[in-house]
Amino acid sequence: MRPEAHRRIIAILTFLVFLIGYGILFFTGVTNIRHLLDNAISAYLLAWALYGMFASIPLSEAGTRFLLTTGSLVFCWLLAEGAVLVGAVDYRSLLGAYESGTALSVTGRQFDRELLWRHEPHYQYEAPYQGNIGGALCIPPDPARKVVIRYDQNGFRNARDLDSAEIVVIGDSYMEGYFTPDEYLITTRLSELQGKSVANLGHSGYGPQQELAVLRRFGLPLQPKTVVWAFFEGNDFSDAEAYETKTRHSINDGRHDFWQDFWFRSLTRNVSALLFRPHHKCMPDSSLTEFRAEFLDATHRASTVFFASTEIKPVSGGTLHKALFPILEAAKLCRDRDIRFLVAFVPEKFRVYHDLDNVSLTTEAIRQWRVSDLPTQVQQLLEESDPRIEYVDLTPALKAAARAGIPTYLADDTHWTDEGNRVAAETIHRALQNASPTRLPPRT
């Protein structure tokens, strides 16, 4: 065989080996951002190796081109990421690389090893209203209902930084106020009714374990006289179950908090994350249309309201105890400091609306739903564990207002309306006014 033919065969075989390598990278798929970056770097190096083997230039010149090109790319990359290191840019805000289920992919959030994530200090944004159920149904945002959201030095919804507060409110998104203007927040209303300073330490996405950490780190240093703990029957249970797994993953990650924040703000991650965003048009979750009703308000105007599919999900005894344990710990912390402690039960929308005369359950699926006696179970378990814990169920007051034609829940969302915030604040106010705090034993 001629030498030229031999070299040609070797070249063809080598080229086939590289094609197989690229094929392996392509067909293995991409499951996460790290996998994507591994594939991209591998493909880049394979391409240069192929170029070096077949280019009609000396190998040394090919190597020089590789070093110059790679060096230029790395230099530009360092400049772009350096802007993140010095805090000049957050690529989440520029690229909007939001990923469902990844809280830190959203602008204005920072990593916290204990809380998992929290809002950045003094972060502020303006956004048009879009309900969480409405989003799943592909109902577009309403630009006429824009709300300005702002946070204090610790990432909570307070109009100003607080050094002290007579009342501290702990909870999740119901307390933080989902698209609720500052003046209509439950804590703003409660402050007006009580004539006292109220700190809003509600945080969306938090469960009982995180709320206990919030009380320790941010609530108790405010030296309150009263702590109100809002317990939501919806995702407080799933959040309690998931917390240990999430914190274990956070600890095992091994990165310092600073590098966690840098990674989520970085150009590398946010450009990569764009490839994981759905590129197709919004596809409505048609199953949610089965969970709806017609609400007749005080002016006899009917409107369609939707319910979350998880609203009547049963709760096991183990999950119930796991979710309530942090509350008992919080009660003990308050009792040791002579702080009054009140638990407010926050119900799901269906629990409030399901049996009202002015609410018509319009589908067979929603008519099959049944509510449990969870508010009573929670009250009994708390009383058995610590009789000194005060308790108020917000369900009757929200139900009475809704029966009178006042929509207390947003039609296409699981949270309260402005009126729902008002009713809840008035109910907690009455509980604090009417109930006599249990006399605490003297400190030893």
pLDDT digits (tens, 9 = 90+) for 112-149: 989 999 999 999 999 899 999 999 999 999 999 998 99
Tell me if residue 393 falls in helix, strand or coil: strand
Number of domains in the chain: 3
* CA separation for the pair 416, 307 (Å, rounded): 13
Region 33-62 average pLDDT: 77
Same domain, 13 and 26: yes
**Sheet order of strands, 359-361 included:** 302-306, 292-296, 359-361
CB-based contact 228:345 (threshold 8 Å): no
- Is 139 contained in some domain? no
What are the backbone dihedrals phi and psi of residue 50, each rounded to the nearest 5 degrees, phi first?
-65, -40
* CA separation for the pair 3, 11 (Å, rounded): 12
Same domain, 297 and 425: yes
* CA separation for the pair 365, 291 (Å, rounded): 7
- Is 444 contained in some domain? no
Domain that holds residue 262: 90-119+236-274
Angle at which helix 267-274 crosses helix 33-54, to 10 degrees, equals 90
pLDDT at 227: 98
Same domain, 179 and 32: no
Neighbouring CB atoms inside 10 A of 162's CB total 20
Helix (H) or strand (E) run with residue 244 in it:
helix 235-253
The predicted-structure confidence for 340-360, as pLDDT tens digits, reads as follows 999 999 999 999 999 999 999
Same domain, 409 and 299: yes
pLDDT at 29: 61
Residue 233 CB burial class (10 angstroms; 0-12, 13-18, ≥19): buried
* CA separation for the pair 261, 249 (Å, rounded): 16
Helix (H) or strand (E) run with residue 345 in it:
strand 340-346
Q: Which amino acid is at 145?
A: R
The predicted-structure confidence for 299-318, as pLDDT tens digits, reads as follows 999 999 999 999 988 898 89
Same domain, 385 and 293: yes
C-alpha triplet 341, 206, 288: angle, nearest 5°? 120
Same domain, 369 and 227: yes
Average pLDDT value over all residues in the chain = 88
Structure tokens at 55: 């280019």
- Is 149 contained in some domain? no
- Is 61 contained in some domain? yes
Least confident of 27-31, 145-149, 340-344, 429-433: 27-31
Helix (H) or strand (E) run with residue 12 in it:
helix 3-27
Same domain, 259 and 362: no
Q: Is the pLDDT of residue 437 over 80?
A: no
Q: Are β-strands 124-129 and 142-150 bridged in parallel, bridged antiparallel, or unpaired? A: antiparallel
pLDDT at 432: 97
Same domain, 212 and 316: yes
H helix intervals, 254-300 = 257-265, 267-274
- Which has the closest alpha carbon to 175: 230, 123, 245, 138? 230
Q: Which amino acid is at 4?
A: E
* CA separation for the pair 155, 109 (Å, rounded): 9
SS3 content of the chain, % helix, strand, coil (to 5): 50, 15, 35
How much is the pTM? Answer: 0.86
- The answer for 101, left when phi > 0, alpha when psi is -120 to 50, beta otherwise, is left
Structure tokens at 343: 């638990």
Same domain, 424 and 341: yes
Cα separation values, 64 from 60, 133, 352, 395, Å: 6, 56, 72, 73
Same domain, 176 and 244: no
Q: Map tokens 């009714």 to a residue.
A: 193
